[in-house]
Structure 1
Amino acid sequence: MFKLSFYAALLMFAANSSIAASVASPLELRVLGSGGPGATGRAGAGYIVLVDGNPRILVDAGPGTFVRLGEAKLSLANLDVVLLTHLHIDHTGELPGFFKARAVSGEGPVRVRVFGPTGHHGEGDEATFPSTSRFIDLLFGPDGAFSYLHDFAAPVTIDATNIDASANAPKTPKLIYSAQGLEISAIAGHHGDVPAVIYRIDYHHQSITFSGDIEANGIENLRRIAQHTSLLVFNCVVLDPPGSRPVLYTLHTPPRAIGVVANDSGTKKLLLSHLSPVIDQQQASVEASIREHYKGPVVFAQDGMRLQP
């Protein structure tokens, strides 16, 4: 009797362990691209967020991320939200491929909601950027470069929403999406003259915040939206001054300032991504600089990496 009870308990324990192991985390992050604009062996910036195990949210789509998606063997059949931090090529270059893959990934009509920054009409040496809705129209609209996609494999509807990224944008996070407990908030970022947006995803007491490309003088909004976030994905491109070219500090945040923001916001885990070769070469000094202020876990991203908040 004892042996039977013992083995029965052992089998029950194994079954329960298997069930527990198969239960998906409410949120999971897959790094599709951890690099920048250079051809350095990393894909450009891009991430997939899984909600209850289902790939639902695409955050940026830099060059190379489409291949990384295939390597991860993730289906796009349930992808319904795309978050664009800004419209630089190294964050959006693969977008047409993702939308075509979405069109052929399932049956029936496809509807995807795209969020991204408002536009900017440059003056003098400043560049001009379309709004996100205009950008999507130029790609997929009736007269767009890929207009054929709207009924290529299934009826495809892409709804684009512009997030105020102007100098006068609100200084408090705005809820831009809410459905079945999944909430996405946004606030304007600051990436030189490039309209940029910071995003936070919340679901079942877990959260992931994406800084996008942001420079140190514009990080106050990031500090606001990232309060007590489970995981902060911070783009790390430059060394502490004067280790990188001066112009880069008008676009990106150095490690010491990253540590300050992570500490002040109560971030639980920090993922450094959008990594440049100089960061790869000096990871130890970069981490040491961050740890002057932030004592939580620090992870350097790799293409294909999986993280739970």
Structure 2
Amino acid sequence: MFKLTLVAAILIFATLSSVAAPVAPPLDLVVLGSGGPGATGRAGAGYVVLVDGEPRILVDAGPGTFVRLGEAKLSLDKVDIVLLTHLHIDHTGELPGLFKARAISASGPVNLRVFGPTGHHGEGEDATFPATSRYIDLLFGPAGAYSYLRDFAAPMTIKATDLDASANAPKTPQTIYSEHGLNISAIAGHHGDAPAVIYRIDYRDQSITFSGDIDAKGIDNLSRIAQHTDLLVFNCVVLDPPGSRPVLYTLHTPPRTIGVVAAGSETKKLLLSHLSPSIDQQRASVEASIRAHYQGPVVFAEDGMRLHP
């Protein structure tokens, strides 16, 4: 009798334990920064993607994302992939702090793979941007500003890969990482004279696509890579014309076009991020403009927000 009671108790405990410990979704997104370049109370653009419940992928690293990471109580000790959409300060300014935090969190050697755009040598009024590999070398290389990080708390190796972001880049998404069912693809974006890349993460039948900052010349490529994506993270900085300064339309996508892209790609959920004050002040009109074409869920990002695709 005692044995039967003990067996029953073990079975009940096992059942309760399985109920109390839900399985982590394949992909989760935590918004570390939902703001634009202005100091408006939001952190600059940045996200962490969790794979099977573990933070693995950092997408951009704008100013303030270091603090938001701590507030989210997320560990960097499994982060080994960094995706940079482009090299503007509001998307990369926190990299040194986050890399140092990654080194401190390590229990062994740190191996980071960083992906980002090729460079651009500007002429006249155009800006010059280094290739991502050169940018990482300037920060963390042997003669870089933060070269001490290579063996500060743990041996750190950073491998940077430059992705073709030129006008001659392939017009179809290219796989840049594929391991244990996790697949990351990329295609060139367009953000004025700043070389830019669009990314898509696929894992166990779920997907997240990141537009980065993108203007009209990058829309076709975004539409290609975002087909049937579960979550499209679209940077939303400007209002429909003529609601914003004309120069901003040479760098960003207005809401009506965002709706067209989301509908055409059959996106299941749309997250508007990298928000400007004008977007915050006119959310109703922004959403109405998007809804003229897209009827799926529309979410306005906030720092610290966590979403399932």
Same fold by TM-score, threshold 0.5 exceeded?
A: yes
Alignment identity in percent?
79
Q: Which moved more, 1:104-113 or 1:205-214?
A: 104-113
1:216 deviation in Å?
Answer: 2.3
How far apart in 1 are the matches of 2:103 and 2:19?
37
How far apart in 2 are the matches of 1:97 and 1:291?
39
1:23 deviation in Å?
Answer: 1.1
Paired residue for 1:40? 40
Q: TM-score, normalised by structure 1?
A: 0.95
Contact 2:117 2:165 in 1 (8 A): yes
Give the 3-state SS of the residue equivalent to 1:32 in structure 2: strand
1:107 deviation in Å?
Answer: 1.2
Paired residue for 2:295? 295
Amino acid at match of 2:23: V
Aligned pair 1:226/2:229, yes or no?
no
Give the 3-state SS of the residue equivalent to 1:183 in structure 2: strand
Contact 1:234 1:272 in 2 (8 A): yes
Runs of 4+ in 1 over 2 A off after TM superposition: 8-17
Give the 3-state SS of the residue equivalent to 1:115 in structure 2: strand
Paired residue for 1:106? 106
RMSD: 1.6
Give the 3-state SS of the residue equivalent to 2:105 in structure 1: coil
Give the 3-state SS of the residue equivalent to 2:200 in structure 1: strand
Paired residue for 2:238? 238
Contact 1:177 1:183 in 2 (8 A): yes
How far apart in 1 are the matches of 2:239 and 2:280?
11
Contact 2:268 2:296 in 1 (8 A): yes
Give the 3-state SS of the residue equivalent to 1:104 in structure 2: helix
How far apart in 2 are the matches of 1:159 and 1:57?
15
How far apart in 1 are the matches of 2:214 and 2:254?
10
| Structure 2 residue runs without a partner (length 5+) | none
How far apart in 2 are the matches of 1:252 and 1:163?
21
Amino acid at match of 1:248: L
Contact 1:216 1:254 in 2 (8 A): no
CA displacement 1:200-228 (0-9 Å, x = unmatched):
00000000000000012320000000000
**Count of equivalent residues:** 302
Contact 1:186 1:198 in 2 (8 A): yes
Contact 2:117 2:132 in 1 (8 A): yes
How far apart in 2 are the matches of 1:189 and 1:141?
27
Paired residue for 2:62? 62
Paired residue for 2:19? 17
Paired residue for 2:27? 27
Amino acid at match of 1:18: A
CA displacement 1:221-258 (0-9 Å, x = unmatched):
00000000000000000000000000000000000000
Amino acid at match of 2:219: I
Q: Which moved more, 1:198-207 or 1:97-106?
A: 97-106
Q: TM-score, normalised by structure 2?
A: 0.95
| Structure 1 residue runs without a partner (length 5+) | none
Give the 3-state SS of the residue equivalent to 1:199 in structure 2: strand
1:307 deviation in Å?
Answer: 0.2
Paired residue for 2:77? 77
User: 1:1-309 alignment to 2 at 5 Å?
Assistant: 15-19=17-21, 22-309=22-309
Give the 3-state SS of the residue equivalent to 1:219 in structure 2: helix
Contact 1:235 1:273 in 2 (8 A): yes
How far apart in 1 are the matches of 2:14 and 2:230?
33
CA displacement 1:25-52 (0-9 Å, x = unmatched):
0000000000011000000000000000
How far apart in 2 are the matches of 1:12 and 1:99?
40
